[in-house]
């Protein structure tokens, strides 16, 4: 609609300013983000492909990869269900304390992961009030995989809801209300109306949760106990290798996590590209 105004001059339109700013941004991004990303792979392959495969084939590394995938496999579905329910309640209904609920949801973003790990250790460790009871019943959660799953759930719980809330707020509730009036049941409503509208954001939320879950370090290192071949997740294993002066092996493991990060970014770019296209298609009609 504003195409007539586009010809007018806006701030920063002069070529000198424009190309200086773009150039500066590209140089800074290269220094701060691109070179570090490339150097992960450079370090991983510095001794050649054979060494790379060898260090990934190490039994402890394989175990760490397995444990990390296992933790993510448990964490992601829990936070997926919670994220959808939370987004549904805060975007579809008005109730007192709604804003407070959204602020509480942000706690894992604000709290240091070490503090998060400590909170769980104090409660479920042998000295905690729940932990003491568990100890009597021979249940060990801390320094074992359940503890790792619990803190990972804590650290990654906001991501799905965070992706869904702005989108569901923007879409409004009219479609869903119409479906209810036409007689749809709750489950039909979710599967046929809500889910198709939010599926891409939901998928991105899941992928982001997964990326954070496989990469969580601080909280996990407090509750894991770092037992090699038992409770070492991939990020902890990377630390162990790195501090053991096996930098190449550390970077080989790190490259796996970097690939997961790259897939996450590519997926996000893909979703945004789709949205833009859908937007353009809508406005030309």
Residue of 84, 225, 83 lying closest to 146 (CA atoms): 225
CB of residue 146 vs other proteins: minimum separation in angstroms?
14
SS3 58: coil
Q: Are 257 and 234 in contact (CB under 8 A)?
A: yes
Site string for other proteins, 214-243 (x = CB under 8 A): xxxxx--xx------------xx-xx--x-
Compare residues 51 and 173 and give the one whose CB is closer to other proteins.
173
Residues 6+ apart with CB under 8 A from 99: none
Provide, rounded to whole angstroms, the least separation between the CB of residue 284 and other proteins.
19
Two structure tokens written together for 87: 């987004």
Q: Residue 80 corresponds to which tokens in the numbers above?
A: 């997926």
* Residue 32 or 281 with smaller CB distance to other proteins: 32
Our CB check for other proteins shows the closer of 63 and 216 to be 216
How is residue 163 written in tokens?
A: 């992706």
Kindly state the smallest distance separating residue 10's Cβ from other proteins, in Å.
6
> Please, which residue, 95 or 281, has the CB nearer to other proteins?
95
Residue 205 within binding range of other proteins, rule CB under 8 A:
no
CA atoms in the 13 A half-sphere facing the CB of 130: 9
Nearer to other proteins, 101 or 195 (CB): 101
Who contacts 4 (Cβ-Cβ below 8 Å, separation ≥6)?
A: none
**Is residue 107 close enough to count as binding other proteins by CB under 8 A?**
yes
Q: How far apart are CA 233 and CA 61, in angstroms?
A: 9
Binding mask 51-80 for other proteins (x = CB under 8 A): ------------------------------
Q: Can you tell me which of 118, 134, 167, 203 binds other proteins, judged by CB under 8 A?
A: 118
Distance (Å) of CA 181 to CA 172, 184, 186, 191: 16, 7, 12, 16
Nearer to other proteins, 198 or 216 (CB): 216
Q: Does 268 bind other proteins (CB under 8 A)?
A: yes
Rounded Cα–Cα distance for residues 149 and 209 (Å)? 13
Per CB under 8 A, contacts with other proteins among 155-174 are 157, 173
Residue closest to 201 by CA, chosen among 168, 174, 232, 173: 168
Interface with other proteins (CB under 8 A), residue from 1, 181, 182, 281: 181
d(CA 50, CA 196): 45
Does position 259 interact with other proteins (CB under 8 A)? The reply is no
CB of 152 to other proteins, least distance (A): 11
Residues binding other proteins: number (CB under 8 A)? 105
Closest listed residue to residue 40, CA positions, set 264, 258, 263 = 258
Q: Which of 71, 76, 88, 201 binds other proteins (CB under 8 A)?
A: 88
Residues between 16 and 55 that touch other proteins (CB under 8 A)? 17-18, 21-22, 24-26, 28-29, 31-37, 39-40, 43
d(CA 259, CA 169): 32
Selected range binding other proteins among 47-55, 56-64, 135-143, 211-219, rule: CB under 8 A: 211-219
């Amino acid at each position: 609609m504003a195409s007539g105004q586009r010809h007018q001059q806006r701030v920063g339109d002069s070529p000198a300013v424009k190309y200086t700013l773009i150039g500066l941004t590209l140089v800074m991004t290269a220094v701060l983000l691109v070179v570090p990303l490339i150097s992960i792979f450079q370090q991983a392959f510095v001794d050649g492909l054979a060494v790379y495969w060898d260090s990934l084939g190490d039994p402890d590394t394989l175990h760490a990869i397995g444990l990390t995938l296992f933790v993510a496999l448990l964490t992601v579905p829990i936070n997926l269900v919670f994220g959808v329910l939370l987004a549904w309640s805060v975007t579809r209904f008005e109730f007192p304390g709604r804003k407070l609920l959204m602020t509480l949801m942000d706690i894992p973003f604000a709290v240091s992961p070490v503090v998060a790990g400590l909170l769980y250790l104090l409660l479920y460790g042998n000295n905690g009030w729940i932990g003491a009871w568990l100890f009597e019943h021979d249940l060990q959660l801390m320094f074992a995989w359940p503890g790792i799953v619990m803190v990972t759930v804590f650290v990654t719980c906001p991501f799905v809801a965070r992706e869904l809330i702005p989108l569901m707020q923007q879409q409004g509730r009219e479609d869903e209300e119409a479906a209810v009036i036409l007689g749809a049941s709750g489950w039909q409503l979710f599967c046929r109306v809500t889910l198709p509208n939010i599926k891409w954001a939901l998928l991105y939320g899941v992928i982001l949760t997964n990326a954070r879950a496989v990469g969580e370090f601080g909280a996990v290192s407090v509750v894991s106990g770092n037992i090699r071949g038992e409770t070492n997740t991939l990020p902890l294993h990377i630390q162990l290798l790195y501090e053991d002066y096996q930098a190449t092996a550390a970077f080989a493991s790190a490259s796996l996590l970097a690939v997961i990060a790259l897939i996450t970014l590519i997926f996000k770019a893909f979703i945004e590209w789709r949205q833009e296209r859908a937007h353009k298609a809508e406005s030309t009609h």
